[in-house]
Amino acid sequence: MTSANDTARMGGLPHWEPADVLGKMTLSDLLFSLDYRHIAIKGILTSIVMLGLGGLMAMLFRTELAVPDIQFFDARPYMSLMTLHGMLMVFGFVIPFVVNLMYYMMPKVLGTDRLIFARGAQWSYWLLIAAALLLVISRPDFTWTFYPPMSLRVGGELIWMGYLAIVLVAISEFLAGCVVIANGWSAAKRIGWSKLPLMGWAAISEGLLLTISTPALAFVGGALMTDWLGTTALFDPARGGDIPTFMFLFWFYGHPAVYLPLMPAIAVLYTLMPRFLGRPIWSYWSGVTAFAILTVLSFVVYPHHFQPANTVSGLLERTTQILTMLIFIPSTLHVFNWIATLWYDDIPISAKRAIPFKFIIAAIFFLILGGVTAYLNAQIAVNADFVHNTYFVPAHFHAMFVGFMGNMAMAGVYYLYPYFTGRMFSQRMGNLHFWLWQVGILGKVMMMYYLGFVYFPRWVVDYLPLPQWAIPQLMLTGAAYLIGLGFIVFVFNIMWSSTRGRTVQGDPWPVEMADTPATAAAPAE
Amino acid sequence: MENALGLTGYQATMMTIVFALGILGIGGLLMAIFWPKRWKMKYRMEIGFVVLLAVLVWYADRKSTEVYSAYQADLNESGELSVDGYEAAGEFDRTLRVIAFQWGFAFLTEEDEISRNAAVVQPGERVLFEIISNDVIHGFNIPAVGITTEFGPGENRQVWIRAPKEPGKYLIQCLNYCGVGHAQMKAWLVVEGPEEGGEV
């Protein structure tokens, strides 16, 4: 179904001459450079640190949950770990990681050779660092959804820093949104909308999501801070405040937040899949349509997050149910597109060997595994039975966040690695990382689904010693350790290979069919 | 055990659909990679698949609404959806007022007897719970009968269940994070009988 137009619509090749960009970065480059590769490398490496921190916290509370009863942590430190894990993973790892992959690839794919509004990306980065520091210092224990009035009655004296951090995260993400939309829009004007690469459409979708949703987050963060300080009482019902207003405002950001890492991850997939297969995507317009529908729906389905509440009933409840299930359609358009692309011609032997390509396939697998259960989650009757606030919800979003977006983040960083280090990573360690992750993520997600089905509640430090809870929890902890081990292998690989990996020249990812030689220069050694 | 929403059959159908779609998607992905035969899909296949999904959305919406509306209708017929419907609870065998607080549940009978963390009922009774919170947002979930609701201070939520026929203690738990004591916020649905088992 592809045509010459489709090839043109794939955009520029995401290719640079492999060089030790990272090793040659000075302190000044690290702090102030507006070169898009410097900004993106800094953001990607910081996200890996955030993944390490958030993951370490997960290992700690997973160890606590391995068996019933309290072993290592009381409720408050446990909830601080849980809250920081959620915030660092969402705000510090998964969203900025894939957005920085876009910063890196957009200038080549969209043909600008520079990042428009790079200063915004720089400010976005430093505001996020400030937010992360404030969060860690404040040690919030109110979960990443910080529902009032509970959130106004917990935490220590420094908890105001946590609320300030939420405001800073919102400003940081708003600036990132301005950067990606400026690049997407500029490319559309220059190339034309009908020839805009899918990376450009994703940039516009992502920019709209970020710039429209983040003011709501900034407002609730600021209002919670002034409520906590006693200056206002917007969300505290004991002082005349209103909880439903918070719910509608927070989830106006909170639901699109799920799509903030999704859009760039899909964009990276649309960029790298043709690169490894050596052919364009099956249907350009399916991709464009899916981006457009996903963007619109992501702003209107958010009441499903608090559907069992009184405030979501009647027509709103029913409409939310239908619209939420309709998300199935654009998501399926993407998945259908990828499978059709894989199927319509031979898969090069070079792709089958490539670690980034393996992570791409795993990402699609988990998008399907996590996506299909959204059909259940959306239904009011099922939600009011075993879905709402049981482990079924984290099962769904861990399949998406770790299984899809996490795997796509890894696909992106492995792909870019030879370009910014001038060396190739160890294939053997890459494979080990891949399998540890896939087995770990699959085990984790399936155990979470099962625990949700048997009503295991979220956010608990301790639980009853029921066999249907205790055995899956132990297995879930084992699966989390596999993911942690995979991360250690990954970090060791990228550090070790940066000085000892074989040097790369020319195209590090030549397309090689089973019976033809590589179409690009082989690595020098 | 009788599911409060009466959705056992419907739920099995929906899970079968999800399972089938998952197998179709993952199977397609694996075949696209490993099956030697190459296949150029047509646009009409994609359109057909989208139509199939639209039909599934329509079906799920209809069934879910049917089931949930029937459950709500039982409350409506008894005039129980109004905030002060406590006095009109004639259709139910037992009405219990529930006060959720950080961190526990108190149950008040129609005779104004109060019990902390234990709701005592008879086997097979139709029981109405009128639930309020006096501090933060809480959840109310009884796994044995599959019902969940969420409510903040100032709200009055009503859920009804048919109590299990087997005597025993059945878990009631908060499902919304409500502070550091959330994990301890549990109570028991005690179904009286000649002997009380330990099922939860």
In a domain, A118, yes or no: yes
d(Cα A244, Cα A250) in Å, to the nearest integer? 10
Count of alpha carbons within 13 Å of B165, Cβ hemisphere only?
3
The more confident residue out of A215 and A141 is A215
Whether residue B183 and residue A75 make contact (CB cut-off 8 A), yes or no, is yes
Mean pLDDT of A102-129: 97
With beta carbons less than 8 A apart as the criterion, state whether B141 and B131 touch. Answer: no
Percentage of chain A beyond pLDDT 90 is 88
Dihedral class, residue B63 (left if φ above 0, else alpha if ψ from -120 to 50, else beta): alpha
Mean pLDDT of A493-515: 93
Alpha-carbon gap, residue B78 to B58, rounded angstroms: 30
Contact status of B53 with chain A (Cβ, < 8 Å): yes
Are A404 and A366 in contact by the 8 Å Cβ rule? The answer is yes
Q: Which two tokens stand for residue A23?
A: 């090793």
The tally of domains found in chain A comes to: 1
- The CATH number covering residue A98 comes to 1.20.210.10
- Beta-carbon separation of A388 and B151 below 8 A: no
With a cut of 60, say whether residue B90 has pLDDT above it. Answer: no
Greater model confidence, A180 or A519 = A180
In angstroms, rounded to a whole number, what is the distance separating the alpha carbons of residues A335 and A282? Answer: 11
- Say whether pLDDT at A515 is over 90: no
Amino acid A469: pLDDT: 97
| Whole-number pLDDT of residue A481 | 98
d(CA A183, CA A110): 8
Distance (Å, whole) CA B25 – CA A342: 13
What mean pLDDT do residues A415-425 have? 98
DSSP B171: E
Residues 6+ apart with CB under 8 A from A258: A298, A397, A400
Instruction: Give per-residue pLDDT as tens, B12-65.
Output: 999 999 999 999 999 999 999 999 999 999 999 999 999 999 999 999 999 999
Question: Taking CA atoms, what residue in B is nearest to A453?
Answer: B143
Which string of b and e fits A299-326 if b means at least 16 CB within 10 Å? eebbbbbbbbbebbeeeebbebbbbbbb
CATH superfamily for domain B89-191: Cupredoxins -  blue copper proteins (2.60.40.420)
Task: Compare CB distances from A342 to B18, B33, B49 and report the shortest one's residue.
Answer: B33
How far lies B157's CA from each of A420, B84, B97, B100, B102, in Å? 58, 11, 10, 11, 17
pLDDT value of residue A5: 62
Instruction: Kindly report, residue by residue over A386-412, the tens digit of the pLDDT.
Output: 899 999 999 999 999 999 999 999 999
DSSP letter, residue A347:
P
Q: What is the mean pLDDT of residues A134-151?
A: 92
Would you say how long chain B is, in residues? 200
**Per-residue model confidence (pLDDT) at position B89:** 44
**What is the dihedral sign for C-alpha A196, A198, A201, A206?**
negative
pLDDT tens string A47-88? 999 999 999 999 999 999 999 999 999 999 999 999 999 999
| Contact by Cβ (8 Å): A482, B166 | no
Structural domain contains residue A24: no
A380·B5 Cβ contact <8 A:
no
Whole-number Cα distances in Å, A228 to A163, A218, A231, A257, A258: 9, 15, 8, 24, 27
Amino acid letter, residue B57? V
pLDDT of residue B72: 79
Chain A: residue whose CA lies nearest to B19: A372
Is the pLDDT reported for residue A497 higher than 70?
Answer: yes
Q: Which of A300, A321, A221, A147 is nearest to B151 (CA)?
A: A147
Enumerate the H helices of A278-378 as residue ranges.
284-298, 314-326, 328-343, 349-353, 355-372, 374-377
- pLDDT for B74: 72
For residue B81, the model assigns a pLDDT of 40
The reported pTM is 0.94
Which residues span the domain enclosing A246? 34-500
Per-residue pLDDT at A522 exceeds 90: no
B85 pLDDT band, cuts 50/70/90, is: very low
Which structure tokens are listed for A12?
Answer: 């520029």
In this predicted model, which residue has the larger pLDDT, A272 or B78?
A272
ipTM of predicted assembly, 2 dp:
0.92
Contact list in A for residue B53 (CB cut-off 8 A) is 328-329, 332
Q: Is B68 on the interface with A (CB under 8 A)?
A: yes
pLDDT beyond 70 at B114: yes
Whether residue B64 and residue A309 make contact (CB cut-off 8 A), yes or no, is no
Provide the mean pLDDT of chain A.
94
> Which pLDDT score is estimated for A223?
96
B114 Cβ under 8 Å from any chain A Cβ:
no
For position A312, what pLDDT does the model report?
A: 65
A33: helix, strand or coil: coil
Banded pLDDT at A11 (limits 50, 70, 90):
confident
The two counts, helices (H) then strands (E), for chain A are 20, 0
pLDDT of residue A1: 52
DSSP class of residue A399? I
**In terms of CA atoms, which chain A residue is nearest residue B103?**
A150
In a domain, A162, yes or no: yes
Q: What are phi and psi of A241, to 5 degrees?
A: -80, 180
Query: Residue written as tokens 């540890």?
Result: A436
pLDDT band at B71 (very low <50, low <70, confident <90, very high): confident
Strand B118-121 relative to strand B186-191, pairing = parallel
- Nearest C-alpha neighbor of B152 from the set A252, A241, A216: A241
